[in-house]
Amino acid sequence: MAKHNTQETVSSYISKCRKGSIRSVFPGEMMSKKLGEIQKGKSKAHKTAWKLLNDSRFKK
């Protein structure tokens, strides 16, 4: 779960725990951020990214 790995970068989390297809819909500017930053972010991009990271459609 993304909320348990807050110090990990999004790119490495996606590689380990999510299907590659998430990359086509994921906001590109969020790829280098840490999961904790995205979880606490208030912008639309942060909210979209967090929702996608926790979406069961993209689980491996």
Where helices occur in the chain by DSSP H, the ranges are 10-17, 35-40, 44-53
| β-bridge mates for residue 18, sequence order | 59
% of the chain beyond a pLDDT of 90:
90
CB-CB contact of 33 with 60 (8 Å): no
Separation CA 46–CA 27 (nearest Å): 8
The reported pTM is 0.87
Low-confidence ranges of the chain (pLDDT < 70): none
Where along the chain do its domains lie? Answer: 2-58
Residue 2: predicted pLDDT:
78
